[in-house]
Structure 1
Amino acid sequence: MRQDEQVKEHVENCSALLARRGLHLAFAESATAGALAAVFSQSRDSGDVLKGGVVCYDVCLKEDLLKVPRALIERYTPESMEVTQAMTYQLRDLIAADIHIGVTGLTKPGGSESPEKPVGTMFICLVHRDWELQETRVFKGDGEDIIVQTIVHTCRLLMDKVGG
């Protein structure tokens, strides 16, 4: 993965903070295809923070595994904040954790790409029992660059919210 050191530094710092706070993570990943769970699994504190994740790249997994209603997907598209939020909330039924994180978006042309939703648009939802944070960002670069930026940004969001 490009920008390995930047990703590693953010993930290590984020994992250490979460471990100090006694918080566990679970991921529902579409566009990042498991990259978040993979990098967190390599951190020094992985055993103390990572519960697991679900890769739901294809829309059928969003529907069948995470029970996201087809009507919601049809209305807002598989790459939308509404679907990302639904994925994140449904993940709570599959994996017990303190913080559930959902990510969808567009890392390459196609899908629900439009002038209003260009390639690089990423939807991130973080849910804790006491709070929820949703953010839409448009990152630049190729697919790998977009995923790296999404990982780094997700770590920043977590550290800001958790208090690091």
Structure 2
Amino acid sequence: MEELAKQCCQLLKNKKLTIAFAESVTSGALCAGFATVEGSGAVFKGGLVCYDGELKKQYLGVSDTMIEHYTPESAEVTRQMAIGLKDFISADIVVAITGLCSPGGSEAPYKPVGTIFTHILHQDKSLAYRDVFSGDAAAVISFAVTQTYQNIIKLLKSY
């Protein structure tokens, strides 16, 4: 993961772009990865860990209706988290992530434990991802962070 975070930072520096994160399931792991990269202050604006739904509502504009209709761990809520983060932190790229790393959330047959939703906004691009990983909570979070860094790298290399 450390190498992927470095690669993300270097690509962001090369393109003179900044990034911010809204994290639920990963609880700050994406931000922590960026914070350990030398020189990341040039590209990393910060992040918001909003594990609790009340924070998603208060700071990112997620409505009660949206949570009730789609659940806190959903593509729709993740998209709104990204939109809300863009209003909260001025960054060129914003990334939001939610999901289920252990039982007790909104898991269902169509959304098992291990399901992760990620949304990335950059300019006119709105990229939604849904992945399902296996393993314990630590493994799911690790896979989610790795996949998110890879998605950011893919976006940055696309132009």
The answer, yes or no, to whether TM exceeds 0.5 is yes
The 5 Å alignment of 1:26-45 reads 26-45=20-39
Q: Is the 8 A contact 2:18 2:43 kept in 1?
A: yes
Match of 2:131 among 111, 134, 137: 137
Task: Check if 1:162 corresponds to 2:156.
Answer: yes
Displacement, 1:96?
0.3
After superposition, give the CA deviation of every residue in 1:37-94 in whole Å (9 maximum; x if it has no partner).
Answer: 1111111231111100001100111111212111011000000000000010011111
User: 2:88 aligns to what SS in structure 1?
Assistant: coil
Alignment of 1:83-102 (within 5 A): 83-102=77-96
User: What is the identity, as a one-letter code, of the residue corresponding to 1:127?
Assistant: L
Match of 2:69 among 75, 82, 92: 75
Q: 2:44 corresponds to which residue?
A: 50
Question: Identity, % of aligned pairs?
Answer: 45
> 1:66 is aligned with what amino acid?
L
Q: Distance in 1 between matches of 2:134 and 2:37?
A: 26
> Offset of 1:130 from its aligned partner?
2.3
The match for 2:141 is: 147
The answer to whether structure 1 residue 22 and structure 2 residue 16 are counterparts is: yes
- Point out 4+ residue stretches in structure 1 off by more than 2 angstroms: none
Contact residue 133 and residue 140 of structure 2 kept, 8 A = yes
Aligned to 1:64: 58
Counterpart of 2:38, as a letter, is R
What is aligned with 1:127? 121
Is the CA contact 1:24–1:50 (under 8 Å) kept in the aligned structure 2?
Answer: yes
Query: What do you get for the CA RMSD once the two structures are aligned?
Result: 1.0
1:11 aligned partner: 5
TM-score, normalization: structure 1? 0.93
Using the alignment, how far apart are the partners of 1:144 and 1:12 within structure 2? Answer: 21
Aligned equivalents of 2:143, 2:13: Cα separation in 1: 23
Structure 1, unaligned stretches of length 5 or more? Answer: 1-6
